[in-house]
Amino acid sequence: MAVLGGLCLALLGATLFLSWLLARRAQGGVFYGEDALRDPEIQRQVVQRLAEASSMPFDSHPDGEVGRVLIAGGERGEFRTNAFGMREREYEVPKPDGVVRIVLLGDSFVFGLNIEARERLGARLEEALSERVPGRRFECLHLAVNSWNLRSECVYLRRQLDRLAPDLVIQVSYSNDLDDVTGVRGFGAEASFVPYHRPRADSLVLDRYAQSYLHQDTRNLLSRGLDHESRSRFAEALAEIERLRADMAQLPGAPRYLLVLHWGLLAPAVQDHLGSKLDADSVFYVPPEFAADKSMWITPTDPHWNPEAHALVAGALYGVMRARNLLPSIELPAWPEADQRASEWAERGLAFARTEGDRLRKSLGALVAVLDWPEITLEEARQVHGGLDLEGLVSPYASCVHLRPAGASALHVRGRSLPDLVLRGARTRVFLEELAVGELVHEPDAEWKLDVPIPPELEGRELLNLRFESDDYVYRGPDLRHCVVFRLERAALE
């Protein structure tokens, strides 16, 4: 009787609790239960409340190539996002009739880091178009997330291209646009993994010197196209741009595409490996002197465009659109100041990109053939594209670049396997440039070395890309989130 009485009380309590939840739902509250899997409004409310509880800006995207967008629909500190997770007004998809839609595609420069939304280049361009072509409705939409790369940008647009239906796409690229795009942690902050390369765990490939040094010298290496890692990333970016353009050509009216390259002193590299592969009317180089002009920066140490720079670039884009007839169905009236700026920038930017390649190749700086850990200096560490920390711990994917001195004929690598028993039998493939040159089979806490000749196919290459690709790893770090395979002690071309 006691058991049955207790069961009756429990059932009564459950009934009362469910009745209360249903009453809350009827009053507009959030109901957490199986119905939430079927009720879009409940899902929307849950997501909205989670977003409001986070001060961080990012949200993961199911498309691993995109990686992340912004948390949708609300104030995110100094900016507001729309329902699609973009720093932009709400806009309709499919596109309404009568709208001339221009998509500004990019990263933090298009996003408008540290400036008001109305001060960005798309807003300035839309204002100029509306003023000079009355009676037409223009939309200049900023589709941009901080630290997106060229691949993420193209993929995000291409997979909604039919519904978004742009009349023109302007993609703005900066010299760190070959970097990996990181994922998002549960509280909206950037993570240390790359959704597109998930098996690599926390192996990141980043051009860590681009922000700090681009406008002072050209010490960053990933964006030069002089080794396999860099050339591969240029090739991937070019393939995505060409795929996007091919799909745009199938849309009604075959909308045009313009790639704006803001690469500063690295313009010759992007010209060699990307710009020269596209038709001339599809590429526009921002001249390096504009990139180096600190009066156009947010601060003397932050090269993102300030409001004045956004206005100048918007005017130049208007002039380019007019000169190259990028909106064939609309006759854009003359804007003498913008037309002149577009003409001068196009001439100076392209001339620099085409003629300064030799100077760029001579500005490599003090690169070395031998990297020793943990004695590696910060100057030498710039030769690491990613996956190697200052202690020499190697992630599942690691990539670095070595200067090949005259007469060097062999690669010498020395290290120690970690003591973890679960790594017994784990394999690491070793590559020089595109060629596999050896394999390591790990035994716990064992020293090892690899001495192999440099393949004759690599003769004449000034820089050689050394890579390690492993099939297993263990955790390190105070939060057990650093994924590593072995400890590297020395890598040398001799």
Residue span(s) of the chain under CATH 2.60.120.260 come to 370-493
The answer on pLDDT for 39 being more than 50 is yes
Provide the angle, in degrees to the nearest 10, between the axes of the packed helices 307-324 and 121-132.
50
With H, G, I as helix, E, B as strand and everything else as coil, classify residue 489. strand
User: What is the model's pLDDT at position 156?
Assistant: 98
Question: Is 0.75 topped by the overall pTM?
Answer: yes
3-state SS class at 205: strand
Q: Strand 79-81 vs strand 68-70: parallel, antiparallel, or unpaired?
A: unpaired
pLDDT beyond 70 at 17: no
- pLDDT (tens digit, 9 = 90+) per residue, 307-331? 999 999 999 999 999 999 999 999 9
- Dist. CA 227–CA 240, nearest whole Å: 20
Q: What is the pLDDT of residue 32?
A: 44
**φ and ψ at 27, to 5 degrees?**
-90, 5
Of 139, 112, 115, 113, residue with least CA distance to 125: 139
Tokens 């549960």 correspond to 186
Q: What is the pLDDT of residue 194?
A: 96
**Rounded Cα distance, 231 and 221, in Å:** 11
Q: What is the pLDDT of residue 361?
A: 76
390 vs 2: which has the higher pLDDT? 390
Per-residue model confidence (pLDDT) at position 357: 82
Nearest to 176 by CA among 144, 143, 215, 150: 150
Q: What are 261's two structure tokens?
A: 């390259």
Percent of the chain at pLDDT > 90 equals: 80
d(CA 379, CA 368): 10
pLDDT classification of 26: cutoffs 50, 70, 90: very low
**Whether domain 370-493 has CATH 3.40.640.10:** no
- 216 has pLDDT over 50: no
Instruction: Report pLDDT for 211.
Output: 45
- Given this model, what pLDDT does residue 110 score? 98
| pLDDT surpasses 70 at 206 | yes
pLDDT at 31: 40
168 residue type, one letter: L
Closest CA to 168 of 88, 282, 315: 282
The strand ranges marked E within 242-316 are 256-262, 283-285, 297-299, 302-305
Q: What is the DSSP letter of 313?
A: H
Residue type (1 letter), 410: A
Measure the CA–CA gap between 166 and 171, rounded to whole angstroms: 12
Number of H helices, E strands in the chain: 14, 22
Q: Count of CB atoms within 10 A of residue 298's CB?
A: 16
CATH superfamily assigned to domain 53-358: SGNH hydrolase (3.40.50.1110)
Cα–Cα distance measured from residue 69 to residue 63, given in angstroms and rounded to the nearest whole number: 10
pLDDT at 15 over 60: no
SS3 label, residue 417: strand
For residue range 44-66, list pLDDT tens digits in order.
Answer: 665 556 555 556 899 999 999 99
Structure tokens at 195: 């959704």
H-type helices in 196-258, by residue range? 210-213, 228-248
**What's the rounded Cα separation, in Å, for the pair 454 and 465?**
12
Cα-flanking dihedrals φ and ψ of residue 278, to 5°? -105, 160
Q: What are the residues whose beta carbons fall under 8 Å from the beta carbon of 28, sequence distance 6 or more?
A: none
Q: Which two tokens stand for residue 430?
A: 């070793």
Distance separating alpha carbons of residues 103 and 110, to the nearest angstrom: 10
**pLDDT (tens digit, 9 = 90+) per residue, 467-476?**
999 999 999 9
Contact status, residue 272 vs residue 357, Cβ threshold 8 Å? yes
- What is the signed CA dihedral for 431, 191, 269, 63, rounded to 10 degrees? 90
**Average pLDDT score over the chain:** 90
- Planar angle of CA 489, 368, 452, nearest 5 degrees: 55
The answer to whether 106 touches 153, Cβ cutoff 8 Å, is yes
Determine the average pLDDT of the residues in 68-79. 86
Specify the higher pLDDT residue, 284 or 78: 284
pLDDT, one tens digit per residue, over 385-430 is 999 999 999 999 999 999 999 999 999 999 999 999 999 999 999 9
Distance CA 445, CA 117 (A): 55
Does the CA dihedral 389-395-400-406 come out positive or negative? Answer: positive
**260 has a pLDDT exceeding 70:** yes
Tokens representing 272 are 């060699």
Query: With pLDDT > 70 as the criterion, what percentage of the chain qualifies?
Result: 86
Q: What dihedral angle (degrees, nearest 10) is formed by the CA atoms of 47, 53, 57, 62?
A: -30
* CB distance 310 to 120 below 8 Å: yes
Structure tokens at 260: 């704006």
Query: Where along the chain do the CATH 3.40.50.1110 domains lie?
Result: 53-358
Q: SS3 for 416?
A: strand
Mean pLDDT, to the nearest integer, of 266-284?
96
Residue pLDDT, tens place only, 342-385: 999 999 999 999 998 887 877 787 899 999 999 999 889 999 99
Q: What is the DSSP letter of 197?
A: G
- Tokens representing 467 are 């890579």
